[in-house]
Structures are given as structure tokens and as C-alpha cells.
Amino acid sequence: MTITITAFERSPDGGKGLARDTRVRWALEEVGQPYRVRLVSFRALKEPAHLALHPFGQIPTYEEGGLALFETGAIVFHVAERHTGLLPDDAHARARAITWMFAALNTVEPPVLELANARLLEGDKPWHAARLPLVEARVRGRLDQLSVRLGNADWLDGAFSAGDLLMASVLLRLKSSGILDEFPSLAAYLARGEARPAYQRAFDAQLAVNTGKARIH
């Protein structure tokens, strides 16, 4: 069955891989599933045809036969459940990997996004300079806890899993902030994720869209 995902026609990051279609592409590459991409303009995101797929008017979406999904956590979970390579077979290890998926999206991503928004959207506010250190402290707090748990391990719980895929995807957003460099083990963890051939293919594919070199289906 053909898999079709949506991505920005033109990503605000210009192809740095921060748009969330990259996570879905990465998951599909990890499990060796081909997929098509439908590019969507910002205007089309809020039009009825796209809102029927995604109630919040965002990317990415995922379509496969009669199934339409939104939310990267749900999409990556669906891909991981249906194919081998992203979730362990052992029931306890699998539950722990799923826990890390939720931790990435529910516990680590919120302060990371808060920081991105503070920097990108609030720079002109009179309270920006006072608020920024507070937001940065919340990010550092989470990274500190995460780095303690990771320790010297390569991945969060045994072999690479969908939990690592989502955690690395979240940490990617911090690369340009410099904060990640304060946590060398996490910077190395992210580098290991980025070095995976599946990630490279996903990154290159989204970059090609933004440099006009993608083959559009």
C-alpha cells in the first residue's frame, strides 16, 4: 500500500531538517518503507482539504490506504508497530522504548519548543531579556536529567529505537542554540543519530525539497 506524507512546500528552516516531516521520513527509512510526499503551502494547510486530514492544519500527515494519521508520535508509533527495526520484540523493552517516545514528545520537547519560540517570536518584547534565562534554565534542567540517564550508553535503552529517533529529533532543534554543547554526551548522542544512514536519507530528501532538487510525485 502506498504511503503518502505531507511536508512544507517551503520549510521555514530552509531545509535544516527541523520540520517534523523529517522524523516521519527517518522512521520510514529505518524500516525500509518507500513513501511519497505531497508538498503543501502554508495557505493550503488551513484549507478544508488539509484540515480534513489534520484538524490543526499542520504537517506532517500520513496516509496509507484508507488510514489517515496526524501527530508525529502517532505516525512513528504506527510505522514502528507495523515493521521491524524501531521497537524491540521483548515486551518490557518495547514498553520502555514507547515510554521514551512519550518522554521525548511530552517531557523534553515542550521546553525545547518554548526556547525556540522565545528566541524566534519574542525577541521584540520588553520582557524578553528577563524571560529568556528562565526558559533556558528549564531546557538545561531537562538536558541534565536526560544526560544522567543516558550515561555512557549509545542509546536510551539498549538498541536504537523509535524512542531514540524521537528524542534525537527533538534535540536537533537545540543544535543552533549552543546549549547542547554544554552536554557533550547528548551532543554525541545526537551525532550518532544523525550519522545513521536512514537519517541521512531522510535529511537529504527534505533538503532536496527546499533546494528545488526533489523529485515530486
Ligand X SMILES: N[C@@H](CCC(=O)N[C@@H](CS)C(=O)NCC(=O)O)C(=O)O
Binding site for ligand X (CB under 6 A): 19-20, 45, 57-59, 71-72
Q: Judged by CB, which is closer to ligand X: 47, or 182?
A: 47
How far is Cα 183 from Cα 151, in angstroms, rounded to an integer? 11
Instruction: Indicate the pairing of strand 3-8 with strand 61-64.
Output: antiparallel
Minimum gap (Å) between residue 19 Cβ and ligand X: 4
How far is Cα 37 from Cα 47, in angstroms, rounded to an integer? 18
Minimum gap (Å) between residue 164 Cβ and ligand X: 16
Q: Judged by CB, which is closer to ligand X: 30, or 109?
A: 109
Q: Judged by CB, which is closer to ligand X: 84, or 106?
A: 106
Give me the residue label for grid cell 521483548: 90
Q: Judged by CB, which is closer to ligand X: 117, or 145?
A: 117
Minimum gap (Å) between residue 108 Cβ and ligand X: 13
Q: What value, to the nearest 5°, has the Cα angle with vertex 45 and ends 39 and 46?
A: 160
Minimum gap (Å) between residue 78 Cβ and ligand X: 12
Residue at shortest CB range from ligand X: 58
How far is Cα 116 from Cα 95, in angstroms, rounded to an integer? 30
Question: What residues pair up with 4 in beta bridges, in sequence order?
Answer: 36, 63
Phi, psi dihedral angles at 69 (to 5 degrees) = -125, 155
